[in-house]
Amino acid sequence: MLNGVFNLFISIGKKTIGFLLFIICSFAIYNKVLSNESWSQYGTILRKLIFSIPFYQWLILLCLMSINFLIESIKWKKAVSENNSISLLNAIKGVLVGQTFAFFTPNRIGEYAGRTLFLEKGNKLMGIAQLGWASYAQLLVTIIVGAFALAINLSQYEWIGSNLLIWLRLGIPIVVLLAIVLFFYKHIWKGRLAFLNIIQIDSKVKMHLFGLSIIRYLLFLLQYAWVAIMLKMNIEFIPLILSVATLFLFLSILPTISITELVIRGQLLLMILAPLYHDKMIIISLSSLIWGVNFLLPSIIGAILLLGYRLNR
């Protein structure tokens, strides 16, 4: 009987903690987005743009977002498959809940904690290491494509000083080569560092993660191109894609959290697109819509899933 009462209290405690986590996440999203001063400054104009966009265009954008998160879920499921038998549905839930935790943590580190909720007990730490490889695969694609785009566009950016320009031209190839070697080279540790071998994953899995990361990266680029069409931006496709690839590279370097990335992403995009497009409000709207669809909306869905997960526990 005492065990039953004790288990009841534990169950109530877990549900209470889950509900509090939901409240904290929801409040953070509301406080940093809906009550944000920057949002209110151009909110009226943005709302007019939003309501002028045909429904089918929104539907296509949401489909692109859904495919994007599906690919990420498949990638994560593949990364942890050696130690965790996780269904695709739970992988999707884990990715969305991870998005909620990442929303207000530096450099999205909370994403790891959110995803591991859906892993089997005893394998969570290994799952974190495996998720690190999946994240590295995405970063590698970002570095390779972004470095190529930056090399093409360097002369267009007047805000880059001549000295920095020289260092970038020398350093970019070295960084790209080093990033590729570190990802694909499988080192067998010995002696006291032998425990590091446990975090290694199969080379075939790395190739799969890299391939899925390329697909996901292309989806991100396509989302920007599609939103540019939605906002009737008169800008050529290739220059826009190169500029967005450069944006992704800078965002991967700068330390941010998702709630501040809205401002940083907008300011960077203004600087990067300056040689191609001059309507600042449309550029900010482009950045805001992408951020809302790829970060805000999934974070809200993840917060709801988090509440359901804790209540079920």
Per-residue pLDDT in tens (0 to 9) along the chain, 313 residues: 434 433 433 443 444 444 444 454 444 444 544 444 455 555 666 677 777 889 999 999 999 999 999 999 999 888 888 777 788 888 898 889 888 888 777 767 778 777 877 777 766 777 777 888 888 899 999 989 988 888 887 777 666 655 666 666 677 788 788 888 888 877 676 666 665 666 777 888 889 999 999 999 999 999 999 999 998 888 889 999 999 998 898 888 776 655 556 677 777 888 888 788 888 888 888 888 898 899 888 888 888 887 765 545 5
Helical axes 203-230 vs 237-253, angle rounded to 10°: 120
Apex 274 CA angle, 276 and 230, nearest 5? 60
**The total number of structural domains that make up the chain:** 1
DSSP type of residue 92: H
Q: What is the pLDDT of residue 216?
A: 95
Quick one: tokens of 232? 């009737």
Q: Which domain holds residue 279?
A: 2-312
Q: What is the pLDDT of residue 22?
A: 46
Q: If we measure between CA atoms, which residue out of 35, 58, 103 comes closest to residue 259?
A: 103
Q: What is the pLDDT of residue 163?
A: 62
Q: What is the pLDDT of residue 30?
A: 45
Q: If we measure between CA atoms, which residue out of 130, 154, 183 comes closest to residue 250?
A: 154
Separation of alpha carbons 22 and 163, rounded Å: 48
Would you say 126 and 83 are in contact if contact means Cβ atoms under 8 Å apart? yes
Calculate the alpha carbon distances from 29 to 102, 262, 296 in Å. 11, 12, 8
Q: If we measure between CA atoms, which residue out of 292, 278, 272, 271 comes closest to residue 227?
A: 292
Backbone angles phi, psi at 155, to 5 degrees: -65, -15
The percent of the chain in helix, strand and coil, each rounded to the nearest 5, is: 85, 0, 15
For residues 263, 265, 271, 275, the Cα torsion angle rounded to the nearest 10 degrees is -130
